[in-house]
Amino acid sequence: MVPFDDVVTCVKTSSEQGGEAFFWVYSYLVGDTLIDAGCANAASDMVTFAAGHPIARVLVSHAHEDHYGCCYVLEKTAKVYAVEQDHDIIRNPPQYGELFRTVWGQPGPVAEVHSMPEAIDVAGLRLETVGLPGHWPSMVGFFEPDKRWLFSADAVPLPSKKKIGMPEENMPQMIATMERILEMDVDVLFDGHRGPITDVESHTMTRIDYLKDLQEKAISLHEAGMSISEIQERLELEGPWYMEMTENRFGIDILLRSLVFDSPEG
């Protein structure tokens, strides 16, 4: 738990390996409202936190297990809200692969999921629900117009140079969403993995420029007759050490196919 100010508290969850935390996930407590629910491996810690910080509602940005993981233990005292497209996953989570059960944990089922409101007033703030597709088709964030705060979930990629993608990701749409975030003139970006970010423009533009450059190169090579695997080899793209352990949930080829063939319209 790390206070951002007297209204917003950063709640960090993770798993441990060798006694050390890795792959931090950020949830944000605003008054009695929790934005995202962290990973299931931290469920007992989240229950302890909620006992001292009453949570009336949980707003889930999207149906990845590191964002709705603790909903099943929080729903005993809080209402869970998500966009309609994500309800089935949150109510009946799929069985995740071994790596992801180790990293994030296996979420339990949630009995009732409520429709996401267009806006919510809490702790003197007005959180407006905004669509942030790209990383997940129906992902949303929450914008506070007076303070110009955006709780952005995973709209802006964690690595500055993204080299792997997921089947549900649409890279051109991700780029368009980041460009829209810049147009919103956000002062603080409450990121799902890095925490609060104040250098919003430079942080976001670094990722936009990299993906656009990679897209331009990939399309040019594709138009020259290269296959996706040949493009990957030509661009010398290599994935992280754990990529094979993801059981095809992540891939360099997935990223390149999206950059070449997908459109911002989805």
Domain boundaries, the chain: 2-261
Q: What is each CA distance from 27 to 1, 61, 173, 188, 204, in whole angstroms?
A: 10, 10, 24, 15, 20
- Nearest alpha-carbon partner for 259 in 235, 183, 158, 240: 235
DSSP-assigned beta bridge partners for residue 9: 3, 29
Could you give the angle at which helices 171-183 and 252-261 cross, rounded to 10 degrees? Answer: 70
Query: What is the token pair recorded at 220?
Result: 């040019």
State the pLDDT at residue 36. 98
Which pLDDT tens digits describe the chain residue by residue (266 residues)?
Answer: 788 999 999 999 887 777 777 788 999 999 999 999 999 999 999 999 999 999 999 999 999 999 999 999 999 999 999 999 999 999 999 999 999 999 999 999 999 999 999 999 999 999 999 999 999 999 999 999 999 999 999 999 999 999 999 999 999 999 999 999 999 999 999 999 999 999 999 999 999 999 999 999 999 999 999 999 999 999 999 988 888 889 999 999 999 999 999 999 98
Q: Which residues contact 19 (CB under 8 A, 6 or more apart)?
A: none
Selecting from 3.40.50.1820, 3.40.1380.20, 3.60.15.10, 3.40.47.10, what CATH number does the domain 2-261 have? 3.60.15.10
